Amino acid sequence: MDSADICRALGISKRTLQTWRNNGKIPFAMLGGKVYYKEEDIDSLLQTEIKPVKK
């Protein structure tokens, strides 16, 4: 997945995504100057960051 895919999927800005990369919150790889993410890494991030809603 590329940065645009992640931003759309998570509803975040490119700047937020960059901050997460800089802080080590989200793993990534660079190929030919473009940043890519593994889908399973994004799934893992979502599982650890999502808090249950209290009723």
Backbone φ and ψ for 38, nearest 5 degrees, come out as -85, 140
The per-residue pLDDT of the chain, averaged, comes to: 88
How many other β-carbons are positioned within 10 Å of the β-carbon of residue 9? 13
3-state helix, strand, coil in the chain (%, to 5): 50, 15, 35
% of the chain exceeding 90 in pLDDT: 65
Terminal CA-CA length for the chain: 34
Question: Stretch 24-31: mean pLDDT, rounded?
Answer: 93
Is the confidence at residue 36, as pLDDT, over 90?
yes
Q: What is the DSSP string of 19-40?
A: HHHHTTSS--EEETTEEE--HH
Question: Stretch 25-41: mean pLDDT, rounded?
Answer: 93
Model pTM score: 0.76
